[in-house]
Amino acid sequence: MAESETIFARILRGEIPCDEVYADELCLAFRDIQPQAPVHVLVIPREPLVNLCDAEPRHQALLGHLLLVAARVAQQEGLSSWRTVINNGAEAGQTVFHLHVHVIGGRPLLWPPG
């Protein structure tokens, strides 16, 4: 599937709604539709990167920005502990092929993940 057809590309184009928690010129953060914890937010770049394999040195600042926004969102949600996850590829659990950082918290989290 072309990245332009992913559900997140459609959210970015405003074609389908999302429960937005943060937005700026580089990224958008919204609540996961199938939350795995009391807080489950996705931070996505506006630039259509498939995943980290798609990232190049020119994306260094953007990738850092996504992590800073993840921390900002976690704090905004009142979390003092949380987990960030980036599933990279189908075998790692990636189902939407537009890069996204999961911000998960609000309950004790087990390690290692499944």
Regarding 88 and contact with ligand AMP (CB under 6 A), the answer is no
Among 7, 37, 50, 63, binds ligand AMP (CB under 6 A): 7
Q: Which residue, 76 or 87, has its beta carbon nearer to ligand AMP?
A: 87
Q: Check residue 43 and give left, alpha or beta (phi > 0: left; psi -120 to 50: alpha).
A: beta
Contact 9, 3 (CB under 8 A): yes
Q: Which residue, 79 or 101, has its beta carbon nearer to ligand AMP?
A: 101
In which residue are the tokens 């260094």 written? Answer: 60
Q: Which of residues 14-73 bind ligand AMP (CB under 6 A)?
A: 18, 32-34, 42
Which distant-in-sequence residues (6+ apart) come within 8 Å of 24 by Cβ?
A: 69
Does residue 98 have an active-site annotation? no
Q: Which residue, 64 or 93, has its beta carbon nearer to ligand AMP?
A: 93
The residues pairing with 79 across neighbouring beta strands, listed in sequence order, are: none
Phi and psi angles of residue 33, each rounded to the nearest 5 degrees, phi first: -70, -20
What does the binding site for ligand AMP look like in residue numbers (CB under 6 A)?
7, 18, 32-34, 42, 87, 93-96
